Homo-oligomer: A and B are copies of this chain.
Amino acid sequence: MPYVNIQVTREGVTAEQKARLIKGATDLLVDVLDKNPATTFVVIEEVDLENWGVGGLPVEEYRARQLEKQS
């Protein structure tokens, strides 16, 4: 009875992609730990871009600076 929580930035993840994440995460727990899919939960949390920080910056600003460095 695993609980898998997947947090990603809210950037247009489609229903089809969510279904693939759910299937993939469940299959992983079945394959590696022989868990029962019927009692394996997968919860996807989408986080607004301004609510996610990396490198001390909101993610959009961080990405912009990374691009500047590369250009």
Contact = CB atoms under 8 A, between A and B. Distances in A.
A56 B2 CA distance: 12
A33 to B, nearest CB: 6
Interface residues of A, number: 51
A33 B7 contact: no
Given A22-B57, A51-B46, A4 B1 contact: no
Interface string A50-66: 11111111110100000
Taken together, the copies of this chain in the complex come to 6
Interface string A28-44: 11111101011111111
Closest 4 CB pairs of A and B: A22-B53, A42-B53, A26-B56, A24-B28
